[in-house]
Amino acid sequence: MDQLQRTRSEMHRELNRQGEWPSASIGFTRRTFLHRSLVAGAAASAATYGWFPLINTIDVAHAQQSFKFAWISDTHLYPKNVNTRFVDKATRAVKEAQAMSPAADFLIFGGDLAQLGDPVELDLGNEILKEVKIKKVFIPGEHDWYLDMGKKWESLFGKQPWAFDHKGVRFVGLDTVSRGPDYWTAKKMTPQQRMGHMATLDGSVAGAWAGVGRDQLEWLNRTLSGWGKDKPVIIFTHNPLYEYYPPWNFWVRDWREVHEVLKPFSNVTNIHGHTHQVLYNEIGKVRSIGMLATSWPWPYAPEGVPALTTPMVRADPGDHFDGVGWAKLTAGGPKVENEYVMWRKDIFAEAAVDSGTGDNVNQILTPRIADREWPYYGAHK
Ligand SMILES: [Fe+2]
Ligand SMILES: [Fe+2]
């Protein structure tokens, strides 16, 4: 049995114990809506772009009343004089979130506001986000952090981690990006070089940088200790809280410890950015939902895409508004609904297999050379 299989069977033993599954009051259904109602409408802008919402419905018991919140992340802003495309898309997402009706109770920005951690980029993002007048909460992405190790980001958006209760739901924000191993000092890297390695998908130099860390695990344990075991918890993180694909840091390296802390709770939803794609997974009693980026869609990883993921419809490379967007979530009543607001100029494919997964006829994905250099890679074979 290889290392990955050992890890997975250990995880199943620990988390999927006999008689343990999400509370019976929670049911997961997946509804996919393909509609062009706005395209058919008169508004020119809607007719230009169309909408492609995908709605996941998750029942969450005990929320006191229904409310909405919005998620925007992965804007990857460059300075305006370098690139305005990402600025345009971030601006659009912010305007749409602000225009939600009924209004969202708050906006969560899920990290990677900047592309290279440049103070100019972070200030630009802060300005764009000022359009949103409702409450805003923030968690950082690695692109925000590794130029000055989070100084500018924290001066604008505050410290991590944090928690607040809202209408019967405990919301938690964790920092999964700042605990990368020191790959720069011995190599005498400049801050720009350090940041440059963080800005690559493969991370073969930066290594297993994504993690929660002992102090935050203890904080999470304390923060949840007084919370009812069956009451809803929604945890925001930049990276997914499970092992999706380590070579791209589509995980946190201490995900098993995280799940150890969460194990007593039957109603936990993790909402994350970083993967820039439609993504859903369940581990034990914890559900994870991956959010769209406004900047660009990442492909699915060559392996490890969870079986419950709705395949991502192939993006048109000629349309930079395609395959990206933001999300509206409704919590409360008996449910949380997650609606991906995906911008599309046109709908090219309606088949579920038009994606990087489950489509062996049209796409064969092979790991790239840089992925094979990842020290953990052998564990996946
Ligand atoms: Fe990102
Ligand atoms: Fe990221």
Mean pLDDT for 308-321 is: 69
- Which ligand has an atom closest to residue 115 CA? 1
Inter-helix orientation angle 3-15/255-262, to 10°: 10
> How far does the centroid of ligand 1 lie from the alpha carbon of residue 142, in Å?
8
338-356 tens-digit pLDDT? 888 887 655 444 444 444 4
> How far does the centroid of ligand 2 lie from the alpha carbon of residue 52, in Å?
24
Whole-angstrom distance, CA of residue 363 vs CA of residue 312: 13
Q: What is the biggest distance separating any 2 CA atoms in the chain, rounded to whole angstroms? A: 60
- The radius of gyration of the chain's CA atoms, rounded to the nearest angstrom, is 20
- In the chain, the amino acid numbered 166 is H
- Which neighbouring-strand residues pair with 286? 268, 283
* 40 burial type by CB count under 10 A (0-12 exposed, 13-18 middle, 19+ buried): exposed
- In the chain, the amino acid numbered 254 is D
pLDDT of residue 375: 56
Residue 139 has a CB neighbour count (10 Å cut-off) of 26
pLDDT of residue 265: 92
3-class DSSP string for 237-273: ECCCCCCCEHHHCECCCCHHHHHHHHCCCCCEEEEEC
151-166 tens-digit pLDDT? 999 999 999 999 999 9
> How far does the centroid of ligand 1 lie from the alpha carbon of residue 75, in Å?
7
Residue 177 has a CB neighbour count (10 Å cut-off) of 29
Residue 319 has a CB neighbour count (10 Å cut-off) of 15
29-85 tens-digit pLDDT? 333 333 323 333 333 232 223 333 444 444 444 446 788 999 999 999 999 888 888
261-309 tens-digit pLDDT? 999 998 899 999 999 988 888 888 888 889 999 999 888 887 776 666 6
189-236 tens-digit pLDDT? 999 999 999 998 877 789 999 999 999 999 999 999 999 998 889 999
> How far does the centroid of ligand 2 lie from the alpha carbon of residue 194, in Å?
15
pLDDT of residue 28: 34
Whole-angstrom distance, CA of residue 141 vs CA of residue 195: 12
> How far does the centroid of ligand 2 lie from the alpha carbon of residue 274, in Å?
4
319-340 tens-digit pLDDT? 788 788 899 888 875 456 788 8
- Which ligand has an atom closest to residue 250 CA? 2
Its pTM stands at 0.80
105-144 tens-digit pLDDT? 999 999 999 999 999 999 999 999 999 999 999 999 999 9
The answer to whether 277 and 312 have CB atoms below 8 angstroms apart is yes
Whole-angstrom distance, CA of residue 279 vs CA of residue 310: 7
% the chain with pLDDT above 70: 69
- Which neighbouring-strand residues pair with 234? 171, 269
pLDDT of residue 319: 77
31 versus 357: the higher-pLDDT residue is 357
The answer to whether 283 and 273 have CB atoms below 8 angstroms apart is no
> How far does the centroid of ligand 2 lie from the alpha carbon of residue 352, in Å?
26
pLDDT grade for 2, boundaries at 50, 70 and 90: low
> How far does the centroid of ligand 1 lie from the alpha carbon of residue 293, in Å?
7
> How far does the centroid of ligand 2 lie from the alpha carbon of residue 196, in Å?
13
